[in-house]
A and B are shown apart, each in its own frame.
Chain A
Amino acid sequence: MTKPSFVYVTYIRTSPEKLWRALTDGSLTRQYWAGRHVESDWTVGAPVTFWFDGKMSDSGKVLECDPPRRLSYSFHVEFVEALRSEPPSRVAFEIEKLDAQVKLTVTHDEFEPGSQVFAAISGGWPVILSALKSLLETGRSIFPNSAAAHRAKAEA
């Protein structure tokens, strides 16, 4: 059993169902996940793709899907040329209800030794998770000026 490379925890005043939707609905992910829109039918083995500005940024496959408790998928960076040759890593989300709050634990592991993806994403998760928390608690996106948010408004 390998040990996870990263473990992130955040407590969000929301319900497990809303948090699950925020993790799996592309129109919501692009409001907190650096403008990225996720697409998948969320069944085990189904592809997961992340889109930014019409281009695929990352891809993977659903490994576990137990709404609204546990979701994991493999994660392969497509966007950055230098990172594309690395094998996929694995992201897992665990959702626990605690009174009026929900505890979200994100683990990211299975990086190859000396992984550049590891270095590239280590600063990214805290940013994504605090943006997710503020979106769910206040309804405000921290990317109001991103191209994706503009398109979302135009489409609305």
Chain B
Amino acid sequence: MDAVFKALADRSRRQLLDRLHQENGQTLGELCRRLEMTRQAVSKHLAILEAANLVATVRRGREKLHYLNPVPIHEISERWIGKYERHRLQALAALRKGLEEEER
């Protein structure tokens, strides 16, 4: 679990996860195109995310595809958030989203 928190404690790495959340299964090249980071930096961050099991990779021919792996994040939420709280939290998150969208 330490590895997960360390991996998440970096803005660039969270940004990479956001990109994969928008579109799962991207190559290193695709991820680099939309970010203001060098290829080496992206590659280094992806290695840290993969070591923490937050990113899973699959080979397709010559390409290596990166996927957001939400399993460790779910395990963290399971540890502190029970199944009953989840419904209340979802209701609060939906309320907040609704109200914030109204503001705009």
Question: Given A1-B61, A129-B71, A133-B75, do A9 and B24 touch, yes or no (CB 8 Å)?
Answer: no
Chain A residue numbers with a CB within 8 Å of B56 are 7-9, 105
Consensus secondary structure, chain B interface: mixed
Whether the Cβ atoms of A6 and B74 lie closer than 8 Å is no
With the chains together, A133 CA to B71 CA distance in Å? 10
A1-B61, A8-B69 known; A126 vs B25 contact (CB < 8 Å): no
Restricting to B1-31, which residues have a CB under 8 Å from any CB of A? 24-25
Over the window 31-69 of chain B, the binary record of Cβ atoms lying under 8 Å from chain A Cβ atoms (1 yes, 0 no) is: 000000000000000000000010011101100010101
Q: Which of B57, B65, B74 contacts A130 (CB 8 A)?
A: B74
> Pick the contact of A5 from B24, B69, B73, B74 — CB < 8 Å?
B24
Q: Which of A1, A3, A9, A126 makes the CB contact (< 8 A) with B74?
A: A126
Asked if A7 and B71 sit within 8 Å, CB to CB, the answer is no
Within 114-147 of A, Cβ neighbours of B (below 8 Å) are at: 125-127, 129-130, 133-134
CB neighbours of A6 from chain B (8 A): 24, 67
Give CA–CA (A10, B61) in the complex, Å. 23
Are B74 and A7 in contact (CB-based, < 8 A)? no
Closest chain-B Cβ to A31's Cβ sits at a distance in Å of 15
Q: Are A107 and B58 in contact (CB under 8 A)?
A: yes
Q: Which applies to chain A's interface (DSSP): helix, strand, loop or mixed?
A: mixed
Beyond A5-B24, A133-B75, is A126–B70 a contact (Cβ under 8 Å)? yes
Q: Are A4 and B58 in contact (CB under 8 A)?
A: yes
Query: Are the CB atoms of B75 and A3 closer together than 8 Å?
Result: no
Cβ contacts under 8 Å, A5 to chain B: 24-25
Of the listed residues A1, A10, A133, the one surrounded by the most CB atoms of chain B closer than 10 A to its CB is A10
B60 touches A3 (CB 8 A): yes
Q: Which residues of B contact A134 (CB under 8 A)?
A: 78
**Residue ranges of A at the interface with B (Cβ–Cβ < 8 Å):** 1, 3-11, 105, 107, 125-127, 129-130, 133-134
Chain B residues at the A interface, C-beta cutoff of 8 Å? 24-25, 53, 56-58, 60-61, 65, 67, 69-71, 73-75, 78
With contacts A7-B69, A126-B71 known, what are 10 further pairs, Cβ within 8 A? A4-B65, A5-B25, A7-B24, A7-B65, A8-B56, A9-B69, A11-B53, A126-B70, A130-B75, A134-B78
